[in-house]
């Protein structure tokens, strides 16, 4: 079981809490997305939880339309395969709920250019996509704020890279509330310290990302041979000593973090269990653990995708549930800012 005391900022009040999180269908879901986000989602089954396929967000980077069309339902199927029950949770596509884009426009008018300029993801993505620094990339955090605030969210389970975006969401909400009264709930990020950032296999000082080259990450769709091959090639160092030291040994430390997350053990316990062994054995242990973790998810995913009517039905029904909740907030916001509603 995941240790709840490991949580950063876990000080939300005792009430029926709303949980919101999203993943972009911008590539094959990675081990980083899984450990940093998806795997934590089922912790919140007893709360009112919304898990979104952030297809509008993914347009901030050029996507192949045919691929995107397939990836969105595929990601929703993965949510379910990872253990989320679509009857208890609301699993839906962002573009099926127009209120996201509508609230985003309003919030744009309550967000400053200076704040958005400070976003590290915008800086990184601008460098990565220098030929396409579009306005959507710049206002990405505002759409994310709209996602979260529409549902009066209390907790947002994310990886560390998204912490800054949850913070700006709070700032925007606070600014709006200070003018119009308590319209929005202020959300808290839920970030597990030990697994907050899984690093790239080929460049372990960089975050593992689904839009990076294929060899830099393990995907939830990789077969056992591919998982073994990729982890075998993971960059380590020449010291040949298994030791957790992210600064001097980022590659080995990343492998230990992955192992500790998936085995639900502390890094020290994992280090101890591998004492005296070499990097080959460390990599084999990581590969085997990942393969075993993914096997039931992949099997369930195949079953879901084989049923051609199940997923479209679920996504339509869940979008209607999300729309109902989102409209309540949007109507309130329109009224507060003075938009005429006959």
> Footprint of ligand AQP on this chain (CB under 6 A)?
22-24, 26-27, 30, 32-33, 35-37, 54, 158-159, 161-162, 197-198, 207-211
Of 67, 57, 75, nearest to 122 (Cα)?
57
CB of 224 to ligand AQP, least distance (A): 22
Nearest CA to 140 out of 101, 92, 177, 99 is that of 101
Nearer to ligand AQP among residue 10 and residue 177 (C-beta): 10
Q: Rounded distance, CA 253 to CA 230, Å? A: 16
Annotated active-site residue 125? The verdict is: yes
Alpha helices in 26-64 (DSSP H): 31-33, 39-41, 55-58
The residue among 207 and 228 lying less far from ligand AQP, judged by its C-beta, is 207
Closest contact distance (angstroms) between CB of 70 and ligand AQP is 16
Neighbours of 248 (CB within 10 A): 10
Three-state DSSP state, 107: helix
Catalytic residue among 70, 88, 123, 125: 125
Rounded distance between C-alpha atoms, residue 196 and residue 32, angstroms:
9
Shortest CA distance to 156 belongs to which of 121, 116, 191?
Answer: 191
Least distance to ligand AQP, CB of residue 121, Å: 7
Task: Give the nearest distance from C-beta 73 to ligand AQP in angstroms.
Answer: 16
Residue nearest to ligand AQP (CB): 36
Catalytic residue at 207? yes
Q: Where are the beta strands (DSSP E) in the chain?
A: 7-8, 18-23, 48-53, 90-93, 155-157, 188-192
Q: How far is the CB of 341 from ligand AQP (least distance, A)?
A: 33
Q: Cβ of residue 82: shortest distance to ligand AQP, in angstroms?
A: 12
210 and 204 in contact (C-beta within 8 Å)? no
Comparing CB distances to ligand AQP, the nearer of 74 and 176 is 74
Catalytic residue chosen out of the listed positions 197, 210, 230, 283: 210
3-state secondary structure of 260: helix
**Least separation, in Å, of the C-beta of 157 and ligand AQP?**
7
Helices (H), 83-214: 99-108, 113-117, 120-128, 135-150, 163-180
In b/e form, how buried is each residue of 208-235, taking b as 16+ CB within 10 angstroms? bbbbbeeebbbbbebeeeebbebbeebb
Nearer to ligand AQP, 43 or 208 (CB): 208
Residue placing its CB nearer to ligand AQP in the complex, 261 or 291 = 261
Largest alpha-carbon pair distance within the chain? 74
Give the nearer residue to ligand AQP in terms of CB position, either 57 or 96.
57
- Among 70, 206, 207, 328, the active-site one is 207
Cα separation of 229 and 284, whole Å? 10
Of 96 and 210, which CB lies nearer to ligand AQP in the complex structure? 210
Q: Clarify whether 88 is annotated catalytic.
A: no
Catalytic residues: 125, 207, 210
């Amino acid at each position: 079981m995941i240790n709840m005391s490991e949580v950063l900022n876990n000080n939300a009040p005792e009430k029926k809490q709303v949980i919101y999180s999203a993943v972009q269908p911008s590539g094959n879901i990675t081990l980083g997305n899984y450990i940093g986000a998806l795997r934590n989602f089922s912790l919140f089954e007893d709360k009112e939880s919304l898990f979104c396929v952030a297809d509008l967000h993914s347009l901030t980077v050029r996507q192949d339309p045919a691929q995107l069309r397939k990836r969105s339902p595929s990601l929703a199927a993965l949510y379910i395969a990872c253990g989320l029950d679509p009857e208890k949770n609301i699993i839906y596509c962002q573009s099926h709920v127009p209120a996201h884009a509508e609230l985003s426009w309003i919030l744009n008018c309550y967000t400053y250019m200076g704040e958005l300029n400070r976003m590290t993801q915008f800086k990184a993505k601008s460098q990565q996509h220098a030929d396409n620094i579009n306005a959507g990339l710049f206002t990405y955090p505002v759409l994310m704020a709209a996602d979260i605030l529409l549902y009066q969210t209390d907790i947002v389970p994310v990886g560390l890279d998204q912490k800054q975006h949850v913070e700006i969401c709070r700032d925007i909400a606070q600014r709006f509330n200070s003018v119009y009264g308590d319209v929005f709930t202020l959300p808290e990020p839920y970030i597990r310290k030990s697994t907050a950032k899984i690093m790239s296999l080929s460049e372990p000082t960089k975050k593992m990302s689904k839009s990076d080259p294929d060899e830099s990450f393990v995907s939830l769709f990789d077969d056992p041979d591919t998982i073994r091959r990729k982890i075998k090639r993971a960059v380590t160092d020449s010291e040949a000593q298994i030791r957790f030291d992210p600064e001097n040994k980022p590659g080995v430390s990343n492998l230990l973090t992955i192992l500790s997350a998936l085995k639900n053990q502390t890094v020290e316990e994992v280090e101890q269990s591998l004492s005296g062994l070499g990097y080959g054995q460390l990599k084999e242990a990581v590969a085997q653990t990942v393969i075993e973790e993914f096997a039931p998810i992949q099997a369930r995913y195949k079953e879901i995708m084989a049923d051609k009517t199940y997923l479209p039905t679920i996504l339509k029904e869940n979008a209607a549930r999300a729309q109902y909740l989102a409209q309540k907030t949007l109507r309130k916001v329109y009224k507060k800012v003075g938009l005429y509603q006959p």
